[in-house]
Chain A
């Protein structure tokens, strides 16, 4: 029986790996997801078969309740809310690990409990709980339940440090006297506070990094539980998720030219609402205001347009009408492409999903490195609801928080059109000098209203 169990877990692990490999290419991604699904089903079934179903009621109740909630959420969730959902699900992964580890503490599966089981149990409780509370804070920030700006407590880092020391001390006490129930509970409590103090100082704009990092933690929590139970499929699946989350974290940091350390401890960023930063340095410069009709007239004379969508587009729910406009331009023989900055949206790859939902085919979506050389041969760069990712200050202004961040070279296009709600600066609070450039047209207004106006004007011509 033990061989059957182990070999089936091995099969499941292999399927997880193949599934993840297929998830890496647009053509095979859906199949990859299905392979991972199969792997999960196999792992669940063999666990039930081998352990014998002693308590069918509780197992069915748990699976049905969880499955239903998950199913409903997956069906109903708006694509704009994906970051919140992933954040919350990361937290659920964390709490599941904590619960399993604590349950194992109460009723050990193998006796006597060895030192290494106890040590990995501490790890599992700690990582699981940090993932839970950290994810809940990330969720609250993204959902607007709490302010997105960084919250820094007095002596914040010292507090974090003390919490870590606390966990180590409680851990040592626990290992020395595992029968005293206070120690594991204290570990959980310290980890819970640490998860909160770890995420609250991180600004709303940096949430993509945090979600990716917590994604990684949720995997590591599963792995730690696998160590406790000596179960290889948990260790492998968890490690895969841990690695994947870590890579996405690194990619997001690179896209903002920030170190992970700076993101976690730098407390960078303003409120998540686009504050009215005005003209920044207080200099009186003028911008030229245009209307959607003016923009439509320009479109009449051009041959190539690159659209740069930002999160403002998604907030205004303008993806669909934008796709309609792009279709009209294409019908007139204009070459239309989309340029997607790696941190457009609120989580890695978010903008791609939002555009896909509006039926924009993925082969007109270009990554930054693939399209940046094309702006100089482009008539119009149309920037909708984005700012920081096209701010040339990132190239030149050394004291700017944006300095060094790779940006889309929209300023090389012949005409630059901004569709924006206000003159407000972006997350980074850095004014955009491009607003005042002679070749820049500023069209103020809600993205959806402006693009709808554009479509209307294009139709009338």
Chain B
């Protein structure tokens, strides 16, 4: 039960940090923010690795391997597409010089 209480503490504080950080994000970055956070939710891969890591094959191992694959699609796909998008955002050079 103690560990549950600690988990609830950690979760609640992290939610507050999330609210604080995201409220200020300009609409320009909302789509990259979503694909980037998509990648971050792939953190489940850590749990998946623990589930799949066994020296014999059981149902739980198979489920773990599937979970690794799905989470890795999120992680790699999410981070790469975010980077691709952010690479497209450019400032107008002329304006920069004029300003």
Measured CB to CB, the residues of A under 8 A from B are 13, 16-17, 19-21, 23-26, 29-30, 32-34, 36-37, 40, 43-44, 47-48, 51-55, 58-59, 61-63, 65-67, 69-71, 73-75, 77, 79, 82, 85-86, 89-90, 92-93, 95-97, 99-100, 102-104, 106-107, 109, 114-116, 120, 211-212, 215, 218-219, 221-223, 225-248, 251, 340, 342, 347-350, 352-353, 356-357, 359, 361-365, 367
Nearest-neighbour CB distance to chain B for A10, whole angstroms, equals: 11
Within the assembled complex, what's the spacing in Å between the Cα atoms of A96 and B53?
A: 15
A-B contact count (CB 8 A): 385
Q: A23-B32, A36-B36 are in contact. Are A99 and B75 (CB under 8 A)?
A: no
Whether the pair A103, B67 counts as a contact (CB closer than 8 A) is: yes
Shortest Cβ distance from residue B76 to the other chain A in the assembled complex, whole angstroms: 4
Expressed in whole angstroms, the minimum distance between the Cβ of A268 and any Cβ of chain B is 22
Q: A23-B25, A103-B63 are in contact. Are A17 and B11 (CB under 8 A)?
A: no
Contact B37 A62 (CB under 8 A): no
**Which secondary structure dominates chain B's binding surface?**
helix
Asked whether, in the complex, the Cβ of A349 is within 8 Å of the Cβ of B61, the reply is no
Give CA–CA (A348, B30) in the complex, Å: 5
| B14 and A235 contacting across the interface, CB-CB below 8 Å | yes
Enumerate chain A residues within 8 angstroms of B68, measured Cβ to Cβ. 58-59, 62-63, 66
Q: A23 touches which one: B33, B43, B55, B70 (CB < 8 A)? A: B33
Contact flags B21-46 to A (C-beta < 8 A → 1, else 0): 11111111111111111111111111
Q: Are B70 and A96 within 8 A (Cβ)?
A: yes
Q: A65 to chain B: which residues have CB within 8 Å?
A: 69, 72
Whole-angstrom CA separation of A18 from B17 in the bound complex: 11
Considering only CB atoms and an 8 Å cut-off, how many residues of chain B contact the other chain? 84
B25, B48, B61, B82: the one within 8 Å of A33 (CB): B82
Partner of B64, one of A73, A86, A103, A357: A103
A376 to B87, CA, bound (A): 35
A247 contact from B23, B78, B79, Cβ within 8 A: B23
Q: A23-B29, A227-B7 are in contact. Are A66 and B71 (CB under 8 A)?
A: yes
